[in-house]
A = this chain, B = another copy of it.
Amino acid sequence: MEADKPTRTEALMEVVRMRIANRSLSPGDRLPSIRDFARDMKASPSTVAEAYARLEAEGVLRARRGAGFYVTGVDLPPMALAEMGEPREQSVDPFWVSRLSLDARASDLMPGCGWLPASWMPNGAIRKGLRAMSRGEAALLTDYGSTRGALELRRLLIGRFAEEGLPATASQLMLTGSGTQAIDLICRLLLRPGDTVLLDDPCYFNFQALLRAHQVRMVSVPFTPDGPDVELFGQIVAAEKPRLYITNSALHNPTGASLSPQTAYRVLSAAAAHGMTIVEDDIFADFEPALSPRLAVLDGLSRVIRIGSFSKILSASIRCGYIAARQDWIDGLTDLQIATSFSGPSPVAVSIITGILTGGSYRRHMDDIRQRLTTAREETASRLASLGLVPWVIPRGGFYLWCRLPEGLTSSDVARRCMQERVILAPGNVFSVTQSAGPFLRFNVAHMADNRIYAALEKAMKA
């Protein structure tokens, strides 16, 4: 987190912004002349001129020919105000974790968030990729990508799928703007308002947010350490006739559990018996020490659609997801992506990702990350245990730990109290369609090193 020091120009710009924010300069006011301000601030006139010019480009100031610079009437709220302080943030719904973690201040502690700290990511490889791009072809830097995304990355993914025993062709694979967008496109292709969709309980909170946007009916099946409860799964599929089942087979979010071979077989059989399609979100695959069973592999991309992204392992800032499915579905999904986003992921982003994945250091980087996560998981489990928080299962990989609070405590209360200390937790019911996960919290072991988290938790649990 070594922030660049602001330049002298930026510092002067900030001074002007502050004066406007604290109303010592009001709309219509004339600014000090360049010469006066330079003398007051002990800066060179050219630096002040540059600062004024950039503030003009931003619309904060307006130059009047021969008459200096004036504050425009633009109502610019101070930084912190614009980003924070909305009552929206306190309701514990499927948006609780997203809103709070995405708009967190740099100083917030985020044991509930769904990604690795920036320092754990392959920053060196990303910087190298950006430098390589800065020497790339003009067309790559400025043109739209192809409708299915660059063939090079699709080939690379097909190679990885083949290693797992999942044969696929390039026309069965498309790149998307993100993993979430991949699922969204599939929902647009296959669902109509009023359809029924099956989810795990608990499941990734954003599946619920997404399905609400599609105006479909959600039903859920209890999740066990081996995957969904297979007895109930068969009954629910037969009774509710869901069009789609959305799940993580490996390192399930939020529990970290993975599917057993027997559960995989029975889930797929039930889906086949009732014509149900399955979306298998494989976003945590690279965190597994060894591959666990996958529905997509068992099924061979007939009724199972695989989606994934690189947000958890490479970068969430350089965005790209993918869909592997039956070719006729990919054809439809490609048109839908044109219609709704015009094109898929940024070709620059795709090229950087391809570079990192093909680079020699990626495998080493992931080995290292898995090792660090194992250590962090053990430490976190032991420290949480001393507070009376018990993991529901010890995951074989990934960064989640799904823990039960001591009898009588409710995770949304604990989360609200911790929020007052700027510690952002992920309370159980944001993951639960049936609101039956009240005693649980999801922790991200990569964000659990700071003692203040345990202190805030202890205090909130005692309150």
Within 8 A of B (CB), among A283-333: 311, 314-319, 328-329, 331-333
Q: Does A118 contact B141, Cβ atoms closer than 8 Å?
A: yes
List of B residues within 8 angstroms of A78 by Cβ: 188-192, 332, 336
Known contacts A141-B127, A360-B53; A331/B88 CB under 8 A? yes
Whether A213 touches B336, Cβ cut-off 8 Å, given contacts A102-B144, A130-B134, is yes
CB pair B348 A317 closer than 8 Å: yes
Mark the stretch among A166-174, A371-379, A381-389, A404-412 that contacts chain B. A166-174
- Smallest CB separation, A317 vs chain B (Å): 4
Q: Given A137-B1, A167-B74, are A79 and B332 also a contact pair (CB < 8 Å)?
A: yes
Which of B53, B99, B162 is close to A147, meaning CB atoms less than 8 Å apart?
Answer: B99
Which of A219-227, A262-270, A339-347 interfaces with chain B? A339-347
- Tell me the number of copies of this protein: 2
Shortest CB-to-CB span from A314 to chain B, Å, is: 8
Name A317's contact: one of B79, B88, B143, B341 (CB within 8 Å): B143
- Inter-chain contacts of A340 with B (CB < 8 A): 180-181, 184, 210, 213
Within the assembled complex, what's the spacing in Å between the Cα atoms of A145 and B188?
25
Give the nearest-CB partner of A55 in chain B: B159
Q: Which of the candidate stretches A33-41, A56-64, A272-280 sits at the interface with the other chain? A: A56-64
Query: How many Å from the CB of A296 to the closest CB on chain B?
Result: 16
Are A142 and B121 also in contact (CB < 8 A) when A341-B178, A346-B346 are? yes
Given A209-B335, A213-B339, CB of A119 within 8 Å of CB of B138:
yes
Which 8 pairs from chain A and chain B are nearest by CB?
A59-B159, A82-B332, A209-B339, A130-B134, A121-B142, A118-B138, A180-B342, A74-B162
For this complex, 15 residue pairs linking A to B, each with C-beta atoms less than 8 Å apart, are A57-B156, A59-B155, A62-B163, A78-B190, A78-B192, A78-B336, A84-B335, A102-B147, A102-B338, A118-B142, A127-B134, A131-B134, A177-B181, A179-B342, A311-B342
Interface residues of A (CB under 8 A from B): 1-4, 53-54, 57-60, 62, 72-79, 81-85, 88, 95, 98-99, 101-103, 106, 115-116, 118-119, 121, 123, 126-128, 130-131, 133-147, 151, 154-156, 158-163, 167, 169-171, 177-181, 184, 188-193, 206, 209-210, 212-213, 311, 314-319, 328-329, 331-333, 335-336, 338-343, 346-349, 357-358, 360
